[in-house]
Amino acid sequence: MADPLILALDQGTTSTRAILFDTKGRALAESGRPLEQFYPADGWVEHDAEQIFQASVEVLREVVQKAAREIGEVAAIGITNQRETVVIWDRKTGLPIHRAIVWQDRRTAEACDRLRDEGREGRVSEITGLLLDPYFSGTKIAWLLDHVAGARTRAEAGDLLAGTMDAWLIWKLTGGRVHATDATNASRTLLFDIHKQAWSAEMGEMLGVPLAVMPAVGDCAGDFGETASELLGRAIPIRGVAGDQQAALMGQGCVRPGEMKATYGTGCFMLLNTGDKAPVSRARLLTTVAARVGGKTTYALEGAIFIAGAAIQWMHEALNVGGGPQGVEKLAMEARDDLGVVLVPAFTGLGAPWWDAGARGAIVGLTRDAGLGEIARAAFDASALQTRDLIEAMRADAPEAFHAKLELRIDGGMSRSGWFNQRLADLTGVAVARATFQETTALGAALFAGIGSGLYRGVEEAAAARPKTESYAPAMDVHRREAAYARWLDAVERVRS
């Protein structure tokens, strides 16, 4: 009998993809569809939830065909998704009442400001581990209930259901039989008590969201029903669900306290596994659910860097450096390293741990000897130095999670540059391990589904299927490293509002 296979459905912000894995974590085939974005007003971003569902079915079917395998060989499906994006739909018809509101959407900023002005943010963080920001799902749900005609009345009558994209896909894939989410996605809604592991009546009342519309909350590895047999040719169990960054944490094998990963794309998301402790952050990092398996909750600290790879793109587009990212990298590699040029890429403000929306970018330390090469090198260094900011903040918030053999596991577009990876290790003073297989988000969803279907005996065994890595050890003299970080901190203070 052939070894069982696992289907991962990765529903992201710009595409919906499926990857077929074997139990050793090897990808056998991949299929994807681009996702249309809608911008109905300044700061508003929406998706067509029905389009997402149709694309999901298409890629799930197609990836099995591409691998020349039979659907009967698939033991389970794992789902991972863009977090915080929400949709509300009619319980009877299964039709959305409005387009999905995407995590990037800022339409509820005033509602968040009002609650913050009322002094509510401390209590919000205490319950949910989050900050008051339109990024999260709760205020989006309230907006839909208040702005779609009759929606609030219908919700209170029990006629509407709400959820993040995982809950929507579970509902649709199971033919409307299961309304469920997992603890990681629930922990990003502003409605979930991460300590009690339950929806919070206090938060529901504060935000104006009737909790009856929310899905049941399950483990990341568990029973989320079966797909309707007519969709894929047979019923397939859905046994794993996790938000994208938590799925990537699993895909990188970060299942023990002190293990951490960073994904370098346009920006950077960094998560530190803190075990069964949910630390209160003094640096305004987010405390979130890393995973829940077998009823046991693991927590994480999360920090976001707004501008990472986007600084390299800026060099290419705004400063006319030819050759795309590779051209910028070549320029940076040839630059002098002794001129002390610092780029603070606060193009849209500074993220964690500074949280200064009014800060703006600057180049500090220019001399007559400095040129485009030194600025290019500073653009790469900015990602490494912002990473150190997060490491220092996490070390202060959760010192017990750190240990002597600290390693940062990385993926994302910037990590394809071996030169940047070495620079990252040098400027942070932390060993770096780059995943050679980059689709760690989809892999994490597959591993959770493997646990949920009994193919792995637990997270430790599943983590053994993590990708091979390329290692980079810090090689920079400690005095040079600390001098570079001191210049960075000085430059940050100069741009702060």
pLDDT of residue 404: 66
pLDDT (average), residues 115-119: 94
The pLDDT of 392-402, averaged and rounded, is 88
Find where tokens 């050679």 sit. 436
Mean pLDDT, range 91-111, rounded to an integer: 92
Pairing of strands 74-81, 238-243: parallel
Q: Which residues lie across from 8 on neighbouring strands?
A: 19, 78
**135, 103 in Cβ contact below 8 A?**
yes
Task: Locate 148 and state its tokens.
Answer: 């779609």
* pLDDT class of 358 with cuts at 50, 70, 90: confident
Model pLDDT for residues 285-320, shown as the tens digit of each residue? 999 999 999 999 999 999 988 889 889 989 898 888
50 pLDDT more than 70? yes
Distance CA 13, CA 81 (A): 8
State the Rg of the chain over Cα.
Answer: 22
pLDDT 10s digits, 55-65: 999 999 999 99
Among 53, 3, 9, smallest CA distance to 240 is for 9
- How many Å apart are CA 285 and CA 311, to the nearest integer? 22
Question: Distance between CA atoms of 496 and 358, rounded to whole angstroms?
Answer: 7
Taking the whole predicted model, whether its pTM rises above 0.85 is answered as yes
Q: Helix-strand-coil percent breakdown of the chain, rounded to 5?
A: 40, 25, 40
Name residues whose C-beta falls within 8 Å of residue 56's C-beta, 6 or more positions apart in sequence: 9, 11, 16, 18, 169, 172, 173
CB-based contacts of 206, cutoff 8 Å, min separation 6: 115, 120, 124
Question: 254-435+467-497 has which CATH code?
Answer: 3.30.420.40
Measured distance CA(300)–CA(279) in Å, rounded: 8
Q: Does 254-435+467-497 match 5-236 at the fold level?
A: yes
**Domain boundaries along the sequence of the chain:** 5-236, 254-435+467-497
Is 145's pLDDT higher than 70? yes
Asked if residue 15 lies in contact with residue 35, where contact means CB atoms within 8 angstroms, the answer is: yes
* Other CB atoms within 10 Å distance of the CB of residue 216: 12
**Torsion angles phi and psi, residue 149, rounded to 5:** -55, 125
Give the three-state DSSP class for 87: strand
Token readout for 26 is 């090897």
Task: Give the pLDDT confidence of 333-351 residue by residue, as tens digits.
Answer: 998 888 899 999 998 788 8
Q: For residue 284, what are its two tokens?
A: 């305004």
pLDDT for the residue 175:
95
Is the distance from CB of 248 to CB of 261 less than 8 angstroms? yes
CATH number of 5-236: 3.30.420.40
Cα–Cα distance, 126 to 193 (Å, whole number): 9
Alpha carbon distances (Å) from 4 to 15, 227, 343, 454, 458: 27, 17, 50, 11, 17
Kindly list the distances between the CA atom of residue 223 and the CA atoms of 78, 227, 322, 482, in Å, as whole numbers in the listed order. 11, 12, 51, 49
Q: Is the dihedral of CA 77, 81, 83, 84 positive or negative?
A: negative
Residue 187 amino acid letter:
S
Confidence of residue 401 (pLDDT cuts 50, 70, 90): confident
DSSP string, 371-393: -HHHHHHHHHHHHHHHHHHHHHH
Query: What's the mean per-residue pLDDT of the chain?
Result: 93
Q: Are 194 and 20 in contact (CB under 8 A)?
A: no
Q: Give the count of beta carbons closer than 10 Å to the beta carbon of residue 322.
A: 10
Q: Give the whole-angstrom CA distance, residue 307 versus residue 379.
A: 10
Distance CA 252, CA 354 (A): 27
pLDDT for 62-76, tens place per residue? 999 998 888 888 999
Segment holding 257, helix H or strand E: none
In 3-state terms, what secondary structure has residue 281? coil
Whole-angstrom distance, CA of residue 112 vs CA of residue 131: 9
Q: Can you tell me the distance from the alpha carbon of 274 to that of 258, in angstroms, rounded to the nearest whole number?
A: 6
